[in-house]
Amino acid sequence: MRTAVRLGLAAAIVAALAGCTSGHQDSPVRAAGTPDLLAGCGPLTDRVIADQVHVPQVRPQTRPTVCTWTADLPSEDTVDLTYAWLRDDTLARDLQVANRFGYRTEKLVLMKFGGMYWRDPRDPGSCAVTTADSGTITWWVQNRSRAAEPDPCAAAMSLMRATLSVDGI
């Protein structure tokens, strides 16, 4: 039941972010030699994801273009990880969505990309980082215990840095 609720929430957030209900996924147009962000679940392997959030392993829960994983922390807490690459999305649209749902946001520049943190003021164990790169890329990290430690923003940023690094930036 908990997985169904999480997947439903992730789908609702992504639908709100994407503004699309047709279910049709366009394939990105790629230059030769660029990674296919939709192959598997983005450019990071499960091993790299586990390393970035300091856990032994993650278990894939869904597939592209929105992908989710769960990971068991040494503290016996579970963390949920969500990756979304939305081709036609913009940071301006994401900021509107965040404001509508009452999230706190903080603008940032990561490498050469504009971006933002999303924080749910009702859940200190939840944080996302979104950057603009051929649409938007988002990593959302949520400690199921709702505890602020381990830091979900640091984990989301670590995953984003690893993603942009693979993307050749």
Q: Tell me the pTM.
A: 0.68
Plot region of 104 (φ>0 → left; ψ -120 to 50 → alpha; else → beta): beta
* Mean pLDDT calculated for residue range 138-152: 93
pLDDT tier for residue 4 given thresholds of 50, 70 and 90: very low
Q: Is the residue at 29 inside a domain?
A: no
Residue 68 lies in a domain: yes
pLDDT of 115 reads 95
Does 24 reside within a domain? no
What's the pLDDT score for residue 128? 97
Let me know the angle formed at the C-alpha of 150 by 60 and 85, rounded to the nearest 5 degrees.
40
Residue 31 domain-assigned (yes or no): no
Host domain of residue 116: 2-19+37-166
Q: Domains in the chain: how many in total?
A: 1
**For residues 42 and 85, what is the distance between their CA atoms, to the nearest angstrom?**
8
Output the average pLDDT for the chain: 78
Average pLDDT value for residue range 31-41: 53
| Mean of pLDDT values over 97-103 | 94
Select the highest-mean-pLDDT range: 11-15, 82-86, 138-142. Answer: 138-142
Instruction: Tell me if 83 is assigned to some domain.
Output: yes
For the segment 5-22, the average pLDDT, to the nearest whole number, is: 37
The CATH number covering residue 101 comes to: 2.60.120
- Is residue 141 in a domain? yes
Give residue 62's pLDDT: 61
